[in-house]
């Protein structure tokens, strides 16, 4: 899977087989009207979460993301988007109530760009971030990253540092989200590879060395000045990248 993979808008709903990982790209600003229309149908907890955003644009993008997530998942479970209900595991990872066994998903967004990853029978995590020149990457790295990552970041040129920092951050976040541990997992207890195109999600793990062989990595470039990491359990899978736009279509289930 190359970083510049095409993002196709499917004419028919893609089948999700056991070996498939689907990643959907979403333009949140284009979906703001759909998100605002969905607002009255959301459960109280999601509406309260939306109201916590101080900036109107942030609230609108949050609602657009919820609309897209519901639309995407509704296709896989043959339901109406507004009828979907979510639950959270003890450590915070969301799940779809009443979904077929093994359906896993994860959502990430940065500015207007959002990604939703969907799998069957394997854990998955995705994280996307904007690349901003001049960000105080070393200060953040020394506080949150493992020693080897800090040393690797310090070794690159200042011109490469912003991209390398985001590459490290997205890979660490995607791994944490795939595991579903939330804040229970220290970011300093594992290291991720910083080379572009690295196939494995972890370089080392203090808590469980076997984790290195358990997770795979794909780097994605969903938009200009954005970088994303996809972390998937196992290595026997294929990744398809899609562009999301309503109205949704009902997905077929792969064998």
Domains of the chain: 20-243 (3.90.470.20)
pLDDT value at residue 4: 58
The angle subtended at Cα 60 by Cα 81 and Cα 37, nearest 5°, is 40
Task: Please name the residues in contact with 55: beta carbons below 8 A apart, sequence gap of 6 or more.
Answer: none
3-class DSSP assignment, residue 23: strand
Rounded to the nearest 5 percent, the helix, strand and coil shares of the chain are 40, 25, 35
Farthest-apart Cα atoms in the chain, separation: 51
Low-confidence stretches of the chain (pLDDT < 50) are 1-3, 248-250, 255
For residues 220-232, b (16+ Cβ closer than 10 Å) or e, as one string? Answer: bebbebbbbbbbb
pTM score of the predicted model: 0.92
Q: What is the distance between the alpha carbons of residues 69 and 49, in angstroms, rounded to a whole number?
A: 16
Comparing CA positions, the residue from 120, 91, 81, 125 lying closest to residue 104 is 120
Task: Please name the residues in contact with 100: beta carbons below 8 A apart, sequence gap of 6 or more.
Answer: 76, 77, 120, 253
pLDDT value at residue 44: 87
pLDDT value at residue 60: 96
Strand (E) positions, 28-112?
86-88, 94-96, 103-110
The answer to whether 190 and 201 have CB atoms below 8 angstroms apart is no
The answer to whether 105 and 96 have CB atoms below 8 angstroms apart is yes
């Amino acid at each position: 899977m190359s970083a510049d993979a095409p993002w196709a808008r499917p004419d028919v709903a893609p089948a999700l087989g056991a070996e498939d990982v689907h990643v959907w790209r979403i333009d949140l600003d284009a979906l703001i009207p759909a998100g605002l229309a969905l607002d009255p149908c959301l459960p109280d907890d999601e509406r309260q979460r939306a109201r916590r955003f101080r900036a109107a644009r942030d609230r609108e993008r949050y609602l657009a993301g919820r609309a897209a997530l519901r639309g995407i998942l509704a296709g896989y479970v043959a339901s109406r988007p507004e009828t979907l209900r979510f639950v959270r595991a003890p450590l915070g990872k969301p799940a779809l109530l009443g979904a077929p066994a093994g359906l896993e998903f994860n959502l990430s967004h940065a500015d207007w760009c959002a990604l939703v990853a969907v799998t069957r029978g394997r854990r998955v995590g995705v994280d996307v971030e904007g690349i901003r020149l001049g960000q105080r990457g070393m200060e953040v790295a020394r506080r949150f990253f493992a020693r080897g990552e800090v040393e690797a970041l310090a070794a690159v040129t200042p011109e490469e540092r912003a991209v390398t920092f985001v590459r490290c951050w997205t890979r660490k976040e995607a791994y944490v989200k795939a595991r579903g541990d939330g804040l229970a997992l220290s970011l300093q207890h594992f290291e991720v590879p910083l080379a572009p195109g690295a196939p494995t999600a972890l370089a080392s793990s203090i808590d469980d060395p076997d984790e290195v062989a358990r997770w795979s990595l794909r780097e994605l470039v969903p938009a200009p000045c954005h970088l994303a990491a996809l972390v998937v359990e196992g290595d026997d899978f294929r990744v398809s990248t899609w562009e999301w736009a309503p109205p949704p279509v009902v997905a077929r289930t792969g064998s």
